[in-house]
Structure 1
Amino acid sequence: MAPIVATLLMHMPDEQAFWCLVVICQKYLICYYSPGLEGIKSDSKLFGRLLKLYFPQISKHLIKNGADDSLLYMLCEWFTCIYCRSLPWNIVLRILDMFFCEGVKVLFKVGLLY
């Protein structure tokens, strides 16, 4: 959560950043930060199906090389931080704008295009 908090604190007062983080955790990234990571696990499976649907060759390559299980680790980095640690700053800010307007589906769209 630290990269998200840092980003929020750079753009709003402390109290607003806190409540914004509460909304992110309770409305958008439900169960992402729970001890069992249930939210990210289910979204990892969904992302794998989307990858198979839209990019079947990449999906086959990952499965062939035994890397399909690594989607969970990749998505933990991308989704739980909302790409704050993975992409250039100007792109991260645009993703956050889209995330607050459209919701979690933006994370999947960016992941498929990234």
Structure 2
Amino acid sequence: MFINQSIQTYSRPMMPSSMRQHLRQKALGVLGPKILWMAVGKVLLFFCPLLLLANFWLSSSAGRIAVALEDAEQGRYLLMDEHIKLRAERARLYSPEYLNKRAASQLALYVPGKEQVTRF
């Protein structure tokens, strides 16, 4: 069995800190925009489909709301027509000519003539 019992220390060769700082800045200068654009690309890759889905959903919702609004407007016009017809019918039913005719036919009530009215 061979055991090396040397007590020598080993230190890694190191470059001066100014040189290390210079190399780090150079690496960031080269890779900085690339890293930034990769991050922007990842964000866009996530948000673009999300934005596209939101756009589709909003456009379909707007279409459904437009159809519902059109149906409500059509119903409003129909109700306005019915209201006009009902007001004309009410005016006809409350007219004095119609009331006199109806009273004469159903209740035998007639408006007396001038020669029929006497004062005491």
Q: Same fold (TM over 0.5)?
A: no
Largest Rg, 1 or 2: 2
Q: Which has the higher contact order (CA 8 A, sep 6+)?
A: 1
TM-score range for the pair, normalised by the shorter chain length: under 0.3
User: TM-score, normalised to structure 2's length?
Assistant: 0.21
